[in-house]
């Protein structure tokens, strides 16, 4: 890459800046790397290390000619940042799906009132949603999702050079379709628990009609919690399978998004 670190040419430094901009922006939206609890200094240092590591691999795809004016320089770096944000955003859709599933289950169980503030998201998170998010994060790391994402980042320099990025109607439709697919996945994850809890609600409604004097609310609330927790635990193998599939297919989702923005 650099034969002599004391004699780095302007072109080589410009190539490094392009890689650094894309990697750093990825760390803003990507899971694990974009965690709020990770200090900014650590993110920047890690971005620099990864950029130096990746640069020899992607150097041939980068423009070595330094732009002649400030506008071209800034616009190129902004495009690199946009591509990095895009890659991280697509991967984060997986965890949005998991949190949607957890929120649906928590609503059915009556756990929405038990939400606690999570500094990682800077918002309140319900118990089941938080549990499923943390568990899916472990699955993501065990499935080497972070390495798959970094590999996709390297390939992105070939698949979507900054000069060939464009936003059009097709880009919007593809991103909307990806978001919809992950939301559907979230509903599918929540479906078994939500279905059982719905049946429980119907059973208590019939019981209330048959025995009006019975305090269904006081009896039903703890029963729904017990039933809900039992089902959540019972479907963990299915949850693991679905999340594992989403992790493995994440590079394909990234490449789909990159193709949509390719001119």
Which structural domain range is residue 43 located in?
5-260
What pLDDT is stored for residue 63 in this prediction?
A: 80
What does the pLDDT look like over 35-55, one tens digit per residue?
Answer: 877 888 888 999 999 999 998
Q: How many domains does the chain have?
A: 1
What pLDDT score does 120 carry? Answer: 66
Compare 69 and 112 and report the one with higher pLDDT: 69
Long-range CB pairs of 162-170, under 8 A, 24+ apart, other chains included: 162/18, 162/76, 162/79, 162/80, 162/83, 163/63, 163/76, 164/262, 164/263, 165/79, 165/82, 165/83, 165/261, 165/262, 165/263, 166/261, 166/262, 166/263, 167/261, 170/260
Q: Tell me what pLDDT residue 59 has.
A: 85
């Amino acid at each position: 890459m650099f034969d002599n670190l004391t004699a780095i040419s302007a072109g080589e430094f410009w190539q490094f800046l392009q890689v650094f901009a894309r990697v750093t922006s990825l760390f803003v939206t990507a899971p694990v790397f974009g965690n709020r609890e990770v200090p900014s200094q650590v993110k920047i240092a890690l971005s620099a290390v990864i950029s130096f590591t990746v640069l020899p691999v992607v150097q041939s795809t980068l423009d070595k000619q330094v732009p002649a004016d400030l506008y071209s320089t800034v616009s190129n770096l902004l495009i690199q940042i946009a591509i990095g944000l895009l890659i991280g955003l697509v991967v984060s859709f997986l965890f949005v799906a998991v949190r949607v599933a957890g929120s649906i289950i928590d609503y059915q169980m009556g756990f929405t009132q038990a939400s606690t503030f999570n500094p990682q998201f800077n918002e309140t998170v319900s118990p089941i949603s938080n549990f499923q998010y943390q568990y899916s994060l472990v699955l993501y790391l065990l499935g080497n999702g972070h390495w798959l994402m970094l590999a996709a980042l390297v390939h992105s320099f070939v698949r979507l050079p900054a000069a060939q990025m464009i936003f059009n109607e097709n880009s919007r439709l593809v991103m909307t379709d990806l978001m919809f697919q992950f939301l559907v996945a979230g509903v599918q994850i929540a479906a078994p628990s939500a279905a059982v809890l719905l049946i429980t609600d119907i059973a208590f409604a019939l019981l209330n009609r048959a025995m009006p004097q019975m305090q269904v609310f006081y009896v039903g609330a703890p029963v729904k919690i017990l039933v809900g927790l039992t089902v959540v635990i019972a479907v963990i193998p299915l949850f693991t399978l679905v999340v594992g599939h989403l992790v493995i297919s994440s590079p394909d989702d990234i490449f789909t998004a990159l193709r949509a923005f390719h001119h």
